[in-house]
Amino acid sequence: MTPHRFHPTRRAFIQSAAAITAATTLPNWFLAECAGAAAATQPLGANDKPNIALIGCGGRGRGVAREAAQHGQVVAYCDVDEASLAQAQKLWPDAKAMKDFRKVMERDDIHVIINGTPDHWHTFVNMAAMRAGKDVYSEKPLTLTIDEGSRLVKVVRDTKRILQTGSQQRSDKNFRLACELVRNGRIGKLKHVNVWLPSGRREGPFAASPVPAGLDWDFWLGQAPKTDYVKERTHVTFRYWWDYSGGTMTDWGAHHNDIAMWGIGAERSGPVEISAKPIGEMIPGGFTAHSEYAVNYTFANGVTLSCASTAANAWNGAVLNKDGQQHGVKFEGSTGSIFVTRGRIEASSPELLTTPLAASATRLYASDNHMKNFFDCIRSRQQPICDAEIGHRSVSVCHLGVIALRTGRKLKWDPAKEQFIGNKNADKYIAREQRKPWTYDAM
């Protein structure tokens, strides 16, 4: 299927796109499509409830959109799979079903996009939405590659749109408390951070099968390589293929490594050295993203971070692996330690938690409701708690771990320039080859 294209006038294109081409290096076709809708979006009045469109109507997308619907009205939902559209229709029977996300951008009555697409679609949808004058709540991990994140941050700055990354642990009191205590020296000088992530899935080989009726498989693939339809490449298990994601390293890593970076104080920077090793081999013809792994990072201030897979159940924080380790984050300092995960925080000594911080202590951005924080920022035009740069930097740590796993080399990284130092083999993983027409190059 040939994707639909916008047809803006030459004047509209020049006015809205000329000033940004150099900054984003986006191709003219993409800028033109987005420019066709940008000027038409209706402004949000002081007392108006924002209109919302969901793009990506899988289970997680619908769940996030239901949260958003408490703050606005869902007027459209979009997916390339008719089965997912049918599920969304049950929730929002009066909203319009759509199959092409670019047609959503043409609607002048939509203010907010909820992006629940698979990882390899996040950046294109997010960029198109912001170019069309809409604010975005994007599921994590924010990007498929480090290069996508760098580009996305530029677009956010240029358009001045609000983008909230769906790393909702930042709006959890336990995680904020842990990071505030660490940043204020409660455990002494921070030395090391342990991050434990759930293991991925090691299965296969999988057989190709006919494309289900109602699924536009070519559109679903987007920038990813052309391949026969395999059921396990879609829905929840898309996360275990390099083509579309980075395994649990980028899935759960975007949550827990985000907290680690917050506690370290490096959420707008990154490590300077990375090494990694996969544990066990993947099955040929099956999932490709490493299911078990150990990754080590060093930061410029000497703090080290270890990120390792654990057999702890990803969906039940109470389930431990054979060593009794629950997935989460442990900060280790010169005088104590703090462990935090969903629904639980503990310290090496109880008084580390119970002793109040001084009135002069450093306080971190406070949010107790991630979605409400996003909608509050739509009104105030202030940055949300997990803005695009933070979302980009947090998942970049995960991408760096993936690159170290795939190259098998110790890597040196310049977080300011976002470049590897002396490793051309690793450089090729900063961006992935994109299938036309979903590329940044001119067609």
Is 185 found in the same domain as 334? yes
Is 416 found in the same domain as 318? yes
- Number of domains composing the chain: 2
Q: What is the pTM of this model?
A: 0.89
Is 234 found in the same domain as 111? no
| Residue 315 CB contacts under 8 Å (≥ 6 apart), including other chains | none
Tokens 């001084």 locate to 358
Is 252 found in the same domain as 393? yes
Is there a domain that residue 113 lies in? yes
Q: Is the dihedral of CA 163, 159, 399, 270 positive or negative?
A: negative
Cα separation of the two ends of the chain: 17
357: exposed, middle or buried (Cβ count in 10 Å: 0-12, 13-18, 19+): middle
Domain ranges, residue 272? 170-357+389-427
DSSP per-residue codes, 102-167:
HHHHH-TT--EEEE-S-GGGHHHHHHHHHHTT-EEEEPSS--SSHHHHHHHHHHHHHHT--EEE--
| Residue 405 CB contacts under 8 Å (≥ 6 apart), including other chains | 249, 276, 277, 278, 290, 293, 295
Asked if 196 contacts 167 with a C-beta cutoff of 8 angstroms, the reply is: no
Asked if 400 contacts 406 with a C-beta cutoff of 8 angstroms, the reply is: no
CATH value at residue 17 = 3.40.50.720
- Other CB atoms within a 10 A radius of the CB of residue 62 amount to 21
Edge-first strand order for the sheet with 304-310 is 344-347, 337-341, 328-333, 190-198, 304-310, 293-298, 273-278, 411-414, 419-420
Is there a domain that residue 256 lies in? yes
CA distance 143 to 122: 6
CA distance 233 to 28: 31
Is 174 found in the same domain as 103? no
Is there a domain that residue 1 lies in? no
Farthest CA pair distance, the chain: 66
Q: What is the pLDDT of residue 17?
A: 38
CATH value at residue 174 = 3.30.360.10
Is there a domain that residue 72 lies in? yes
Is 347 found in the same domain as 213? yes
Is 395 found in the same domain as 254? yes
Q: What is the pLDDT of residue 40?
A: 59
Asked if 304 contacts 283 with a C-beta cutoff of 8 angstroms, the reply is: no
Q: Is the dihedral of CA 415, 421, 423, 424 positive or negative?
A: positive
Is 73 found in the same domain as 199? no
Which of 126, 161, 196 is the last residue before a domain boundary? 161
Which of 104, 128, 161 is the last residue before a domain boundary? 161
CA 414 to chain centroid: 22
Amino acid residing at 331: F
DSSP H or E stretch at residue 79: none
Is there a domain that residue 119 lies in? yes
Which of 110, 127, 161 is the last residue before a domain boundary? 161
Is there a domain that residue 438 lies in? no
Is 255 found in the same domain as 111? no
Is 223 found in the same domain as 153? no
CA distance 7 to 32: 8
Tokens 């009555």 locate to 109
63-89 residues labelled b (16+ CB within 10 A) or e (exposed): ebbebbbebbbbbbbbbbbeebbebbb
Asked if 285 contacts 274 with a C-beta cutoff of 8 angstroms, the reply is: no
Is there a domain that residue 366 lies in? no
Is 145 found in the same domain as 92? yes
Nearest alpha-carbon partner for 55 in 144, 117, 140, 132: 117
Is 135 found in the same domain as 258? no
- Note down pLDDT in tens along the chain; length 443 residues: 333 333 333 333 333 334 333 334 444 544 554 554 444 577 777 668 999 999 999 999 999 999 999 999 999 999 999 999 999 999 999 999 999 999 999 999 999 999 999 999 999 999 999 999 999 999 999 999 999 999 999 999 999 999 999 999 999 999 999 999 999 999 999 999 999 999 999 999 999 999 999 999 999 999 999 999 999 999 999 999 999 999 999 999 999 999 999 999 999 999 999 999 999 999 999 999 999 999 999 999 999 999 999 875 443 344 444 455 689 999 999 999 999 999 999 999 999 999 999 999 999 999 999 999 999 999 999 999 999 999 999 999 999 999 999 999 999 999 999 999 999 999 999 999 999 999 866 33
Q: How many CA atoms lie within 13 A of 95 on its CB side?
A: 29
Is there a domain that residue 422 lies in? yes
